[in-house]
Amino acid sequence: MNIKRVWQHLKPNPFRRHFDADAQAQLTQIISQAELGHRGEIRLVVEAKLRPSLLWRGVTPRERAITWFSDLRVWDTEGNTGILLYLLLAENKLELVADRGIAGKVPQAEWDALCQQLQRDLAENRVVAGLSHTLSQLGALLAQHFPMGEHSDNPNELSNTPVIIV
């Protein structure tokens, strides 16, 4: 077990204060807006820290994001166009997990640019604004690659409420 990593999960994280009820409502609204005009779905998960059992097993932020992707059934959308944005506050790590329907259509450079911008926003303490911008950009990517076309209905297949565990 990596002691430095364990310490990161034990110490208080300054980002926790950014996720009050108002911020959560704002993020829910941003996700709802970002899902207009296309058949994709976006989920946001923010975890303050990992449980000791996960740290003991050496679970990485990527593995944790994939677990959330599965648990929240982001993979279970009609067009396989679900996207999960995962933020692990203790390690200041973020992961994007895109379902197979969208992953291959977006060049890796676009995913990387979104993540880099969000990392800069987080470093400058623009947490909710950075997340809002990134969620909107994810919606724009989905609209670009999966426009409504002849489909006039746009069912909301997954909850828009972020999972915030702080």
Q: Element (H or E) spanning 121, and its range?
A: helix 108-123
Whether residue 129 has pLDDT greater than 70: yes
Please report, for the domain that includes residue 54, its CATH number.
Answer: 3.10.310.50
Place of tokens 């993979």: 75
Where residue 37 falls among pLDDT bands split at 50, 70, 90?
confident
Q: Is residue 60 part of a domain?
A: yes
Q: What is the pLDDT of residue 128?
A: 93
Q: Is residue 152 part of a domain?
A: no
Going from the C-alpha of 78 to that of each of 87, 126, 158, the distances in angstroms are 25, 34, 11
Q: What is the pLDDT of residue 150?
A: 63
Specify the pTM.
Answer: 0.91
Q: Is residue 14 part of a domain?
A: no
Where residue 152 falls among pLDDT bands split at 50, 70, 90?
low
Per the CB < 8 A criterion, the answer to whether 82 and 158 are in contact is yes
Q: What is the pLDDT of residue 136?
A: 96
Q: What is the pLDDT of residue 3?
A: 83
More confident residue, 26 or 15: 26
How far apart are alpha carbons 97 and 83 in whole angstroms? Answer: 6
- Bridge partner residues of 83 (DSSP): 42, 98
Of the ranges 8-12, 26-30, 121-125, the best mean pLDDT one: 26-30
Per the CB < 8 A criterion, the answer to whether 114 and 96 are in contact is yes
Count of domains in the chain? 1
Domain that holds residue 122: 3-9+19-147+157-165
